[in-house]
Amino acid sequence: MKEELEYLLSRVGFEPHPNEQATILEAVNEHRFFLVAGGDQAGKSLEASKGFLAKWFEDMSRFEGEDLLYWFVAADYERTRAEFDYAYEDFVKLFGESNVYVTKRVDPGYIEVMPRELRRGRQRKATIRIETKSAKDPRRLAMRAPHGIVICEASQVDLNTYERCQGRVAPTRGWIHMSGSFESSLGWYPQLWRGWQAPGRLQRSFSLPTWSNLTLFPGGRNDPEILRLERENSDQWFMERMAGIPMPPKGLVFDEFRPDIHVRECSWNPDKQVQIWIDPGYAGAFALEAAQEIDGQIRVFDEIYQRGLTTEQIADMAKQLPWWGKALDGPGIVGVSDVAAQQHQAMASVQETWLDKTGVWLVGRKVEINEGTERLKSFLKPDPITGEPKIIFDPSCTGVLSEFGSVGSPIDGQERAYRWRMDREGNIVGHTPDDKNNHGVKAVIYGLVDRYGLGYVGSGANGSRRSKILVKRW
């Protein structure tokens, strides 16, 4: 551990356990974006507060002479309480109680450090300020840019909140420290943990297992209580809730999708043509994805994802989108739909209904499942030189993001990822995915194939398609 950090922690009376706890704190200042997935009772809040202390200490040199502002963000104000209290106690130990001001409440609350030598009469100047923020009030996430953000119980905030925090620290080149337990192995938080496992990057993730808290579990990994929990519970529960490690999700069709790469804010560009890609549906979902090509990259910036609505109703919703009229009168709107859904017995086709209601004609072509999958996979793959993928999605497009396994479904909040068919033993069977939870994905595929053609699909030596059923084993 660096001498400076060791001295700082000794000043606040904290000595990390010589295991994962010490390793994590030693690495905090080596990465700008930091994620710690903790097991139950592992001391996540304590680690986050000491990680904040280490980052603040570094900022004192980095931003010499500047007043420092920090945010503690959570799904609601009360979830910031533990980190907030720890930070106050540490500052009191460092500066003395008379130099630290704190609110009794955290909804919202703040801590200010005002060293005595900077006071002038009745005027006080806070050199360090911590403010609590709630994800339930996104307006409060759009104020002065902080130098750093601690996201408390990060697994319980949504992807949009994380994206907002990323944007807020950009002007100051600030940092983000996240801590929290895994609620499941799917979603943006576990995916970010996996993506940040590689060392030597701007981002880094760690696990803080329950047994690293030697105060509660003196036997460490072999503590009798830890062994009992492992013996009496499933492997998945133990790994997620005790070890702080997500179990690899089996069967995701697009397992290369990563929120830190493919999800970022995308705004409508009034100078570019809008493409709308549609997969009609009623009982499952009706998906409309709105995209633009900017600088060679497809940016999906808006979405309609609804269940139980007719084509006419979706068309009416589309016309109410804030950009629709301006785009239609300006560069224009082009549409692509599922060709198989263009005619339903005596009813007007989706194509005819959409033209009648919106004035936009929908083209379409038949796309085989595996051909379309390969085309989308080719767009998700980052460029080896720039690191940029060919397609990105705005965090508001929760329908298609839920199918990638990044967030819960906007329809019922449940996990609804697009998966391969699997047997009872968890093996992938066959070479076509299960045809459900794929409405937004299919809409995107229709649009990409119509605009760019088909991607490569593996075949036999003579160019024919494989006829054998494939079984992948984990």
Q: Which of 303, 199, 185 is nearest to 247 (CA)?
A: 185
Domain residue ranges in the chain: 3-243, 261-472
Tell me, what's the pLDDT at 340? 62
Q: 3-state class of 199 per DSSP? A: coil
How high is the pLDDT of residue 465? 43
Say which CATH topology domain 3-243 has.
Rossmann fold (3.40.50)
The DSSP H or E segment spanning 363 is: strand 362-363
The pair phi, psi for residue 243, each rounded to 5°, is -85, -20
Same fold yes or no, 3-243 and 261-472: no
Structurally, at CATH architecture level, domain 261-472 sits in: 2-Layer Sandwich (3.30)
Amino acid 347: pLDDT: 61
Letter string b/e over residues 97-113, b meaning 16 or more CB atoms within 10 A of that residue's CB: eebbbbeeebeebbbbb
Task: Give the pLDDT confidence score for residue 139 in this predicted structure.
Answer: 67
What pTM, to 2 d.p., does this model score? 0.67
Position 473 scores a pLDDT of 38
Q: What is the mean pLDDT of each run of 10 residues along the chain (474 residues)?
A: 82 92 92 94 94 92 88 94 96 92 93 66 66 82 86 90 90 95 80 79 91 95 95 89 83 87 92 95 91 96 95 95 94 87 60 92 86 93 91 94 87 84 76 90 95 63 39 39
Here the contacts of 2-8 (C-beta below 8 Å, separation 24 or greater) are 2/26, 2/29, 4/57, 5/29, 5/54, 5/57, 8/53, 8/54, 8/57
Residues 6 or more apart in contact with residue 148 via CB below 8 angstroms: 52, 55, 56, 59, 70, 71, 169, 174, 175, 176, 177
For 266, phi then psi, to 5°, come to -125, 120
**How many CB atoms are located within 10 Å of the residue 423 CB?**
10
Distance CA 373, CA 371 (A): 5
